[in-house]
């Protein structure tokens, strides 16, 4: 397991550590009973305060992801399927919220967002080439309408062609 922190992120360092360890546990990168790096070792490796790693580990322990054996270290806790389900549902909800925010920024109508969602669900049953062809068809009219509103379709299309792209 490798923990990477980004000092430029708006997310506090302890949360970055916590999320990455959760992700490693949920994705089976680390397993029940595996020992985590000690608080001091992780702090030293990341060149951060011991207080920061202590907080990350405390949060993980409170949420049931790890447990501490006094004098021995921290270990991955047995996973309760309800806990895993709750965490995965929370991730799905976050993904939906991010998609909705992005769609609003793109001024995508609700019905187009639904089409994209349905299309994405269908995509798992089809090969990638077929998916890309359908995606282009679904969003061609939307992109054309938005481009026409902003700069005129012909201008937009020429700009894309100059950049080696096309709709």
pLDDT digits (tens, 9 = 90+) for 84-118: 778 778 888 999 999 999 999 999 999 998 988 88
- Domains in the chain and their CATH numbers? 13-79 (1.10.10.10), 107-167 (no CATH)
Question: Beta-carbon neighbour count of residue 129 at 10 Å?
Answer: 8
Name the CA radius of gyration of the chain, rounded: 23
Tell me the backbone φ, ψ of residue 76, rounded to 5 degrees.
-70, 125
Mean of pLDDT over the chain = 81
Alpha helices by DSSP H, listed for the chain, are 13-26, 39-46, 50-62, 81-105, 110-123, 128-150, 153-162
Confidence of residue 131 (pLDDT cuts 50, 70, 90): very low
Q: What global pTM score does this model have?
A: 0.56
pLDDT at 11 over 70: yes
pLDDT top residue among 4 and 120: 4
């Amino acid at each position: 397991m490798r923990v990477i922190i980004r000092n430029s992120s708006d997310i506090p360092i302890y949360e970055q550590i916590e999320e990455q360890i959760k992700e490693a546990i949920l994705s089976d990168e680390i397993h029940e009973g595996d020992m985590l790096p000690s608080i001091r070792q992780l702090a030293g490796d990341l060149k951060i305060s011991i207080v920061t790693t202590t907080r990350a580990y405390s949060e993980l322990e409170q949420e049931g992801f790890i447990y501490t054996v006094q004098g021995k270290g921290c270990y991955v806790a047995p996973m309760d399927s309800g806990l895993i389900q709750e965490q995965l549902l929370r991730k799905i909800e976050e993904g939906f919220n991010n998609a909705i925010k992005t769609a609003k920024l793109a001024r995508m109508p609700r019905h187009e967002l639904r089409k994209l969602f349905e299309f994405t669900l269908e995509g798992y049953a089809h090969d990638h080439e077929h998916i890309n062809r359908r995606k282009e068809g679904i969003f061609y009219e939307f992109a054309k309408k938005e481009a026409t509103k902003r700069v005129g379709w012909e201008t937009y299309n020429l700009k894309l062609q100059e950049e080696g792209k096309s709709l």
